[in-house]
Chains A and B, each alone.
Chain A
Amino acid sequence: MGYFSNIYHGIRTLLTGMRVTGKYFLNARKGAITQQYPDNRDTLKMFERFRGEVVMPHDENNEHSCTGCQKCELACPNGSIEIIWDRVIDPETGKKKKAIDQHIYHFGMCTQCGLCVDACPSDAIKWAQNFENSVYDRTQLTRILNKPGSKVRAGVEE
């Protein structure tokens, strides 16, 4: 008798499985979880914390808040950040002060770990949610984050 109960049991479990997939088949219209990616570009919004690439926000006067303290450079595990700095004379106090010349970000090496943003004392850099990062030439992945002619916002101290 075990022979026939085996068959019965087998067929029943198979039908149970088919019922599960069959249910999804019938609800296929609303159930699809596919992201229609290039089509939904306009509506696709990443979460605000998503770590896409490091950017340095500038305000309308072309000022940023990077003091050139190099903390991000130190924090970076793989040398993706290079800071070229200089000492300039502060017009107000007349003292020499550190200022960045170029904040170079090697996006191609960055592991999106977030340590640099966490380390920055003046919140000069932050994460952008851009994720379409492929380029034809990897030199394009080396970016200079401070815009040409920009300077540090007044009042931001190290």
Chain B
Amino acid sequence: MNSISNIIDWFINTGVLNMALIALIYLTVFALLGLFLVLLERKVAAWFQLRIGPNRVGYLGLFQTIADALKLVSKELTGTVKADKFLYNLAPYFVIVTSLMALAVFPFTKDLQAFDINIGIFFLIAISSIGVIGILLGGWSSNNKFALIGAMRSGVQTVSYELSVGLSLLTMVILTGSLQLSEIIEVQKSGWLIVQGHIPAIIAFMIYMIAGTAETNRAPFDMVEAESELGAGYHTEYSGMKFAYFFLAEFINMFIIAAIATTIFFGGWLSPFGITESLPWMGLFWFLVKTFVLVFLMMWFRWTFPRLRVDQLLTLEWKYLLPINLVNLVLMAVIVWLNLTIQI
């Protein structure tokens, strides 16, 4: 008896229970957010393409993706006979877990932050490169040539674009002097970083957006699942909920990329010119507004541009983004050193 109450005490005292509760809330909220993003993407795509978009399930089709999710849950899980069963089943979890993990460190308002670690940016970059393992595993283990080609492309793509994401964020870290996300926002009280860092910050932002789109494997960088070339790429053989994990992860990743950009370039939850400083909860509103504007930008890319070819993808990274990024890094260092930043 004593040992059980000891364990319970331990749970309560160390805050594991709290953490589990928070994790549960986060999971629910962001799973719903993912579903909402899918709906948003479909609506936005429809509006770009002279269509109406989903409008049958619920008011204005708001429950469409919920219905889709229910359908996916209830679908049969199929797989190829010769698949490597263990890896095949593991892959979707890699992808979804890493993308959900990344969400933990974002400061949505001053107080709403699950996990404020002092290496926030580093953590985000590290986590986002684990996700690709899931894609590689999925493509490799499903024993399908299309999936394999997709997975290989994804490996190539992520390895190269990781660099650009990292470097462009590093450029901004020079300005902030900290990797901790809450502190980065503190710094921005005297002007968003994209204003503070002016030219190099804008270049870094542009590179970050390009590389970030590539990191999430979205068009125009969707070689991984290029449907006109590979059918469905790495998730060709997945069905039902496992496919849904991949799908959801893609959309949550998109949100993450936009959220990082919001935090680092656009002041996170800070309101423009401090207009709602007295209302702390408005931070959440501003954070989401900024993030969704960036998400919309990524959708706009997707529904406008053709897809690059795999070698052009590498040319873009190694011949254009990376050199510019390195020069930009130096430029930023010089600007910070000479104190040429704009402080409001």
A interface vs B, CB < 8 Å?
7, 14, 17-18, 20-22, 24-25, 28, 31-34, 36
Shortest CB distance B209–A (Å): 12
Residues of A within 8 A of B8 (CB): none
Known: A7-B320, A24-B50. 7 other contacts (CB 8 A): A14-B305, A18-B301, A20-B304, A24-B49, A25-B44, A31-B50, A34-B52
Shortest CB distance B194–A (Å): 18
Instruction: Report yes or no: B51 in contact with A25, Cβ–Cβ below 8 A.
Output: no
Instruction: Report yes or no: B304 in contact with A21, Cβ–Cβ below 8 A.
Output: yes
User: Complex formed: what's the CA distance from A24 to B52 in Å?
Assistant: 12
Interface flags, B37-62, vs A, CB<8A=1, else 0: 00000001011111110000000000
Residues of B within 8 A of A34 (CB): 50-52
Residues of A within 8 A of B320 (CB): 7
Query: Does B303 sit within 8 A of A, measured CB to CB?
Result: yes
B interface vs A, CB < 8 Å?
44, 46-52, 300-301, 303-305, 320
Residue of A7, A17, A31, A33 touching B304 (CB-CB under 8 A):
A17
Residues of A within 8 A of B48 (CB): 21, 24-25, 28
Residue of B46, B49, B300 touching A18 (CB-CB under 8 A):
B300
User: Interface centre among B44, B47, B300, by most A CB within 10 Å?
Assistant: B47
Residues of B within 8 A of A14 (CB): 304-305
User: Complex formed: what's the CA distance from A32 to B300 in Å?
Assistant: 18
**Given A7-B320, A18-B300: A33 and B50 interface contact (C-beta under 8 Å):** yes
**Given A7-B320, A14-B305: A21 and B300 interface contact (C-beta under 8 Å):** yes
Instruction: Report yes or no: A32 in contact with B304, Cβ–Cβ below 8 A.
Output: no
Residues of B within 8 A of A25 (CB): 44, 47-48, 300
Q: Which residue of chain B has the shortest Cβ distance to A6 in the bound complex? A: B320
Q: How many A-B residue pairs have CB under 8 A?
A: 37
Instruction: Report yes or no: A28 in contact with B304, Cβ–Cβ below 8 A.
Output: no
User: Complex formed: what's the CA distance from A52 to B300 in Å?
Assistant: 41
Shortest CB distance B240–A (Å): 29
Shortest CB distance B221–A (Å): 13
User: Complex formed: what's the CA distance from A18 to B47 in Å?
Assistant: 13
**Given A7-B320, A25-B47: A32 and B303 interface contact (C-beta under 8 Å):** no
Instruction: Give 16 A-B contacts (CB < 8 Å), ordered by A residue.
Output: A7-B320, A14-B305, A17-B305, A20-B304, A21-B303, A24-B50, A25-B47, A28-B47, A28-B48, A28-B50, A31-B50, A32-B50, A32-B51, A33-B50, A34-B50, A34-B51
User: Complex formed: what's the CA distance from A24 to B49 in Å?
Assistant: 7
User: Complex formed: what's the CA distance from A24 to B304 in Å?
Assistant: 11
Shortest CB distance A38–B (Å): 10
Shortest CB distance B48–A (Å): 5
**Given A7-B320, A22-B300: A36 and B52 interface contact (C-beta under 8 Å):** yes
Residues of A within 8 A of B304 (CB): 14, 17-18, 20-21
Residue of A7, A17, A18, A32 touching B52 (CB-CB under 8 A):
A32
* Leading 4 A-B pairs by shortest Cβ distance: A28-B47, A21-B304, A34-B52, A33-B50
User: Complex formed: what's the CA distance from A17 to B302 in Å?
Assistant: 12
Shortest CB distance A18–B (Å): 5
User: Complex formed: what's the CA distance from A18 to B303 in Å?
Assistant: 9
**Given A7-B320, A18-B300, A21-B300: A33 and B51 interface contact (C-beta under 8 Å):** yes
Residues of A within 8 A of B51 (CB): 32-34
Residues of A within 8 A of B300 (CB): 18, 21-22, 25
Residues of B within 8 A of A20 (CB): 304
Shortest CB distance B44–A (Å): 8
User: Complex formed: what's the CA distance from A7 to B320 in Å?
Assistant: 8
User: Interface centre among A20, A21, A31, A36, by most B CB within 10 Å?
Assistant: A21
Shortest CB distance A27–B (Å): 9
Q: Which residue of chain B has the shortest Cβ distance to A32 in the bound complex? A: B52
Residues of B within 8 A of A31 (CB): 50
Residues of B within 8 A of A24 (CB): 47-50
User: Complex formed: what's the CA distance from A32 to B49 in Å?
Assistant: 8
User: Complex formed: what's the CA distance from A46 to B289 in Å?
Assistant: 46
Shortest CB distance B298–A (Å): 12
